[in-house]
């Protein structure tokens, strides 16, 4: 028998029992679309978190000082001297705390960060209107402030905050810039570092952000920074930590990879269940069609012909289901990304893998019943009712 004829025959028998075919297909469709959807959600989460970490600033190192005994922080001058470490592009020391911000009768508790002009580059934080903190603001402890979007809405409603005044713990500050939308800075107020030292009554600097010149240099810069810190703190190395953005990314991606694997695993199980569904239906179909097999054998069908017919049937069923599953999975992904805030990112790899797997399942689970059918003796198959 020719292969094209075997295909035609399989197609005819698929069409002749639509309900059964649809039920079989459903298992694979759900399996494949689940794999694609869940893995896409996992990958979307990975790339969203990665983008967020990278959005903190490129080639970023952050130094946080917990301190021990007498010395619990470094001075502004010490912090600025980190600039001289080889490979460092810019340094942004900060002090931070919480203050009561007030405009008329509107009043919020908000975190305040005292920053320098380099903060703009190091943390890639920009203003959408107005201007950023300038070196002169820091030098003269100017009472100027940058405001995050949510805090601005809290205090000023819809009116433009730039140019307006607000009270921070009773001190009057002029707002010179409105920060760009960014999840880490929407609820903050940023003021010159020297003004913050006064406002918060804390002179010491406990957080310093540093930017390495290139991504490759971050680990070297980290080592040099730690060396310098150990000189300042006299080798009590648990009084400071230096975090590398790359390390953060590694941690984050290890978490999201685990998430992806877990989601993919769950979906994979549903794919296997779908495959068992195919095997089940194929087995039932073989039993149901024993007489047909007998008739085909009595007119001269060989074992190979019967095997081929059933095998092609299961491959065609799982192939078509796989394709529908891909479409449903991608469609579901679009839907999820529109309804929820999740980022969904489908990759060609996962589409190809899940499609390949569904066809493989078709072959694998098709072989067993097909073989059973093909091995029937014609006389036994014909007698079957």
Partner 1 sequence: MSSTAITLVTQRKPLLKLEDVFKCYAMGGEEVTTLQGVSLQILQGEFVAIVGPSGSGKSTLMNMIGCLDVPTSGSYWIDGQEVSRMKDSQLAEIRNQKIGFIFQSFHLLSALSALENVELPLVYRGMSAKARKEQAQHALREVGLEERMHHRPSQLSGGQQQRVAIARALAGQPPILLADEPTGALDTKTGLEVMQMIHTLHRKGHTIVLITHDPQIAAQAERVIHIVDGQISHTEVMQA
Binding residues (CB under 8 A) for partner 1: these are 1-2, 5, 9, 12-13, 16, 291-292, 294-305, 377-379, 382
Degrees (nearest 5) of the Cα angle 166, 172, 176? 60
Closest approach of partner 1 to the CB of residue 313, in Å:
13
Q: Using CA atoms, how far apart are residues 108 and 149, in angstroms rounded to an integer?
A: 13
Least Cβ distance, residue 282 to partner 1 (angstroms): 17
- Residues in CB range of 297: below 8 A, 6 or more apart: 306, 376, 378, 381, 382
Angle between helices 303-339 and 3-16 (to 10 degrees): 60
Cβ distance to partner 1 smaller for residue 121 or 292: 292
207 sits in which H/E element: strand 207-212
Q: What three-state secondary structure class fits 2?
A: coil
Least CB distance from residue 3 to partner 1, whole Å? 11
Least separation in angstroms between residue 26's CB and partner 1 is 22
Task: Give the span between the Cα atoms of 148 and 238, in whole angstroms.
Answer: 33
Q: How far is the CB of 10 from partner 1 (least distance, A)?
A: 12
Pick the closer one to partner 1 by CB: 3 or 348. Answer: 3
326 sits in which H/E element: helix 303-339
Q: Which two tokens stand for residue 104?
A: 């008329």
* Closest distance of CB 2 from partner 1, Å: 6
Q: Phi and psi of 144, rounded to 5°?
A: -120, 160
The smaller minimum CB distance to partner 1, of residues 92 and 317, is found at: 317
Name the phi and psi angles at 140, rounded to 5.
-110, 15
9 versus 283: smaller Cβ distance to partner 1: 9
Q: Is the Cβ of residue 15 or residue 339 nearer to partner 1 in the bound state?
A: 15
Nearest residue to 30 (alpha-carbon basis) of 261, 260, 263, 272: 272
Nearer to partner 1, 267 or 374 (CB): 374
CB of 301 to partner 1, least distance (A): 5
Structural contact between residues 256 and 97, judged by C-beta atoms closer than 8 angstroms: no
CA distance 54 to 72: 29
Return the number of the residue (6 or 326) whose C-beta is nearest partner 1: 6
Find the shortest distance in angstroms from Cβ 264 to partner 1. Answer: 40
| Helices 303-339 & 348-374 angle (0-180, nearest 10) | 150
């Amino acid at each position: 028998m020719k292969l094209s004829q075997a295909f035609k025959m399989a197609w005819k028998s698929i069409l002749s029992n639509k309900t059964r075919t649809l039920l079989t297909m459903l298992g694979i469709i759900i399996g494949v679309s689940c794999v694609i959807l869940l893995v896409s959600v996992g990958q979307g989460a990975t790339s969203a978190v990665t983008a967020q970490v990278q959005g903190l600033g490129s080639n970023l190192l952050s130094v946080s000082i917990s301190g021990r005994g007498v010395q619990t922080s470094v001075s502004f001058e010490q912090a600025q001297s980190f600039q001289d470490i080889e490979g460092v592009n810019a340094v942004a020391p900060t002090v931070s705390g919480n203050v009561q911000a007030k405009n008329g009768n509107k009043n919020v508790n908000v975190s305040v960060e005292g920053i320098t002009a380099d903060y703009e580059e190091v943390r890639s934080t920009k203003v959408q209107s107005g201007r950023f903190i300038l070196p002169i603001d820091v030098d003269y402890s100017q009472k100027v402030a940058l405001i995050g979007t949510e805090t601005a809405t809290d205090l000023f409603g819809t009116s433009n905050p730039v140019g307006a005044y607000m009270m921070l713990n009773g001190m009057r500050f002029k707002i010179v810039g409105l920060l760009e939308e960014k999840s880490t800075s929407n609820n903050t107020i940023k003021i010159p570092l020297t003004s913050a030292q006064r406002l918060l009554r804390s002179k010491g600097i406990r957080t310093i952000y540093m930017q390495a010149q290139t991504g490759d240099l971050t680990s070297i810069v980290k080592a040099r920074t730690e060396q310098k810190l150990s000189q300042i703190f006299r080798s009590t190395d648990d009084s400071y930590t230096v975090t590398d953005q790359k390390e953060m990314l590694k941690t984050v991606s290890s978490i999201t990879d685990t998430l992806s694997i877990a989601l993919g695993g769950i979906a994979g199980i549903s794919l296997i269940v779908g495959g068992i569904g195919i095997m089940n239906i194929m087995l039932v179909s073989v039993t149901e069609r024993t007489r047909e097999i007998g008739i085909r054998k009595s007119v001269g069908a060989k074992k190979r012909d019967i095997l081929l017919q059933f095998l092609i049937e299961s491959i065609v069923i799982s192939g078509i289901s796989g394709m529908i599953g891909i479409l449903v999975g991608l469609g579901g992904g679009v839907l999820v990304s529109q309804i929820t805030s999740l980022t969904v990112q489908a990759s060609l790899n996962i589409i190809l893998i899940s499609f390949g797997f569904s066809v493989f399942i078709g072959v694998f689970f098709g072989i067993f019943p097909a073989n059973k059918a093909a091995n029937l003796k014609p006389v036994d198959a014909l007698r079957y009712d």
